Amino acid sequence: METFVNTYGVNKPDTENTVPKPDGTVNDLVISKTVTGNYGERDKKFIFEITINGAEGEWYNLEGQPAIKKGTAARIELKHGDTVKIYGLTENDTYTIKELEADDYKTTFETKLNGTNKAGGSGNIKTATGTIDAGTSLQTQEVAFTNDRTGSATGFASSYGPYALMVVLAGAVAFVLFRKKRAEY
């Protein structure tokens, strides 16, 4: 039976996949996904590519994923309601989060620092970039992506309604003309 040893924040130069102990406050970055709209697929997994740049030799722990090295892109999948947390970011670390496959959706994102709105993007902006702010205590920065796909309702009334109305009107006109001719005879 293997035992778990937490090496978070421990700098072991002879081990490649460790997170060096930072000199300052360590911050978290949370990425979340929401799908909206009457045609939004809530079970669809969306692929994100995350790159973090910080001090030389830094590694960042992703919740449920292998650690990623500074400047190396990692891919994750998120569906509606999913979040992933990245630990070990320090002041002035920069991040780029790019959503790769959301072509049929209007994508927006919002950035929050400790729950307060910081910035956002709308339209079809699928890439969020930012810098971890300085702080004297643990801070959590969140990038919340929302994909919206809304369409007009389809069905019998909207597809065949105009044609049915034309047939009814043509029948009414024919009935009036036929009745008028019959009255003349």
Which pTM was predicted?
Answer: 0.68
pLDDT of residue 137: 66
Q: Which two tokens stand for residue 71?
A: 């400047």
pLDDT of residue 171: 86
pLDDT of residue 90: 86
> 102 in helix, strand or coil?
coil
d(CA 97, CA 49): 6
d(CA 133, CA 91): 6
pLDDT of residue 15: 44
Q: Which two tokens stand for residue 172?
A: 């009414």
Q: Which residue has the tokens 């400047």?
A: 71
Residue-by-residue pLDDT tens, the chain, 185 positions:
566 666 655 444 444 454 554 556 788 899 999 999 998 999 999 999 999 998 888 889 988 888 889 999 999 999 999 999 998 888 889 999 999 877 788 888 888 877 677 766 555 668 888 888 776 567 788 899 999 998 876 666 667 778 888 888 888 888 888 876 666 65
pLDDT of residue 131: 85
Q: Which residue has the tokens 């990038």?
A: 143
pLDDT of residue 3: 66
Q: What is the CA radius of gyration of the chain?
A: 28
Closest CA to 125 of 142, 105, 141: 105
pLDDT of residue 141: 86
